[in-house]
Amino acid sequence: MTVITHVQRKSRLAEMVDRPGGVSVGVALAQAKANLDGLKDQALAIISENIGALLAHPTPDIPEALRLDSAYAASSQVIDAASPFALDDLCTAAKGLCDLLDAAPRQGGFDWRIATVHAQAMKLLLSLTPDAPGTAEARIAIMANLSEVLKRKLPMSPQSPA
Nearer to other proteins by C-beta: 11 or 61? 11
Report if residue 99 touches other proteins, rule: CB under 8 A: yes
Nearer to other proteins by C-beta: 4 or 144? 4
Binding track over 6-45 against other proteins, x by CB under 8 A:
xxx--xxxx-xxxxxxxxxxx-xxxxxxxxx-xx--xx--
Could you tell me if 118 and 91 are in contact, meaning their C-beta atoms sit under 8 angstroms apart?
Answer: no
CA 71 vs CA 14, 43, 45, 56, 66: distances in Å: 41, 18, 17, 10, 9
Report if residue 66 touches other proteins, rule: CB under 8 A: no
**Of 52, 56, 102, 148, the one binding other proteins by CB under 8 A:** 102
Report if residue 124 touches other proteins, rule: CB under 8 A: no
Number of residues lying near other proteins (CB under 8 A): 61
In 3D, which of 63, 38, 151, 62 has the Cα closest to residue 99? 151
**Please, how many CA atoms are within 13 Å of residue 98, restricted to the half-sphere of its CB?**
18
Residue 31: CB minimum distance to other proteins, A: 4
In 3D, which of 98, 93, 96 has the Cα closest to residue 74? 98
DSSP 8-class letter at 1: -
Nearer to other proteins by C-beta: 18 or 61? 18
Could you tell me if 101 and 68 are in contact, meaning their C-beta atoms sit under 8 angstroms apart?
Answer: yes
Interface with other proteins (CB under 8 A): 1-8, 11-14, 16-26, 28-36, 38-39, 42-43, 46, 72, 75-77, 79-84, 86-88, 91, 94-95, 98-99, 102-103, 157, 160-162
